[in-house]
Amino acid sequence: MTILNFKKHLPILENFVSYFLFKAIDAVIPLIVITYLIDVVGLNNYGYYAFAYALIFYLQNIIQFGFDLSAVRSIALLRDDKQKLSKVYNDVFSAQIVFFVLVTIFLLSLVLFVPRIYDHYIIYCFFFILLVGELLFPMWFFLGVERMKFMTIISVISKSTFAILCFLLIKHESDYIYISLYHSVGFLFAGIIAQIIIRKTFGIKFRFSKVQDIKATIIEAWSAFLTMVSPTIYHNTSIFLVGVYGIPSFVSVMEIGAKVLGAFKVVITIMSNVLFPFLNRNKSYLPKVRLVFVTIGFTLSLVMFFSSEILMHLWLGDDAVEVIRVVKFLSPGPLLSSIISAYGINGLMIMKKDKLYSKIIVIGSVIGLMVGLIFIPKYYYIGGAIAIISATSVKAIFSCFYSVKTIKQLQNR
């Protein structure tokens, strides 16, 4: 019996390890590259790149449009039916093409008509390549079919390309304009390889879907879109607003702090994405999973707070002082994110309470934005950190409350 259970859960373990490597590579390589880039181009010039990427990140979210949740759930339930799987892929990818065209027009308008962006237009032109790569790399597909090893392979190629190009070609301060190019080339390679795998391994050939099917796909993904994009309203906007009210070096400090938070949250993110399709089919595991989520999140927050000084000094040297302050303010993040994953994404959404969860996310995000608008003009990156934690706290509290309430309602029926 034990052997049978092990074999049953072996794919989950394989997916967890693969996705862990994917996210570790995604988090660690940029952290290594940042140190080199700041040494070569300076904190101020790196800030121009970070500010531009904060804007591009919004457009990436629009192209993805929450399909990392809605499409994953659909694919997880019908992945063994090739015909239906192909239809989901075509419908979602067609919708992404529509969004890609819209964000391209929007980006072009910003470059042409906003002076601050036009002054560094070459950075944004290079980042357009990244948007092409974002379109071509449907992470939602690999998550849905639970074949995370492909994502890991692709990520190694993408991030390694970025790192190698930066180390080999960025040698002077003026080279900061090319960081976005090398970042984007890695994404483009990832997208091309992903499309080859989907065609060769899964035998799926893309055909543009009918308008009504695209519309239905977008409507179905709306709640998931709010869930996925709303955090950028306070998280990414915190970085963006620091750039608006502060100097470029402040943007660098805020972005580095956010990346450190992301690195500490990586285990929570992995667990959430790997377990989401599994828990949709096996809801009896939810109570145990919630306990594991919160325990790991609490531990990570403690480690993040107490190790910040040692780690940041080892990593950044003399530039670490202000980053340490940001990291300590952000240290409750892993715990709060674990509660959101346990009771929100892998709780309310699995119980088909998408609209309720999306409302929680929107409320938390709006509060985070308001806090940011109040504190960032005065406290800059510290204000940005306060905004992120405020929004995440609201989401965690409401996710937990309404998930427990929903479970009680279902048990009393």
Nearest to 231 by CA among 329, 103, 139, 364: 364
pLDDT at 91: 94
CA 77, 79, 84, 89 torsion: positive or negative? Answer: positive
pLDDT average, residue stretch 315-334? 87
Nearest to 138 by CA among 74, 50, 46: 74
Read off the pLDDT band of 111 (50, 70, 90): very high
Q: What burial letters (b/e) apply to 229-268, b meaning 16+ CB within 10 Å?
A: bbbbbbbbbbbbbbbebbebbbbbbbbbbbbbbbbbbbbb
Q: Which residue has the tokens 């608008």?
A: 373
Q: What is the mean pLDDT of residues 66-70?
A: 77
3-state percent helix, strand, coil for the chain, nearest multiple of 5? 90, 0, 10
pLDDT at position 11 is 61
Is pLDDT above 90 for 273? no
- Give me the pLDDT at residue 78, please: 74
Tell me which residue range forms the domain holding 93: 2-411
Predicted pLDDT at 84? 85
pTM over the 0.95 mark: no
Of 93-102, 192-201, 218-227, 389-398, the least confident: 218-227
Higher pLDDT, 95 or 3: 95
The number of folded domains in the chain is 1
User: Is pLDDT at 110 greater than 80 in this prediction?
Assistant: yes
Residues making up the chain, counted from first to last = 413
Separation between Cα atoms, residue 295 and residue 6, nearest integer Å? 23
User: Terminal CA-to-CA distance of the chain, rounded, Å?
Assistant: 34
The pLDDT score that the predictor gives to residue 103 is: 95
Q: Does residue 2 carry a pLDDT above 80?
A: no
Would you say residue 287 has pLDDT above 70?
Answer: yes
**What local confidence, expressed as pLDDT, does residue 3 receive?**
46
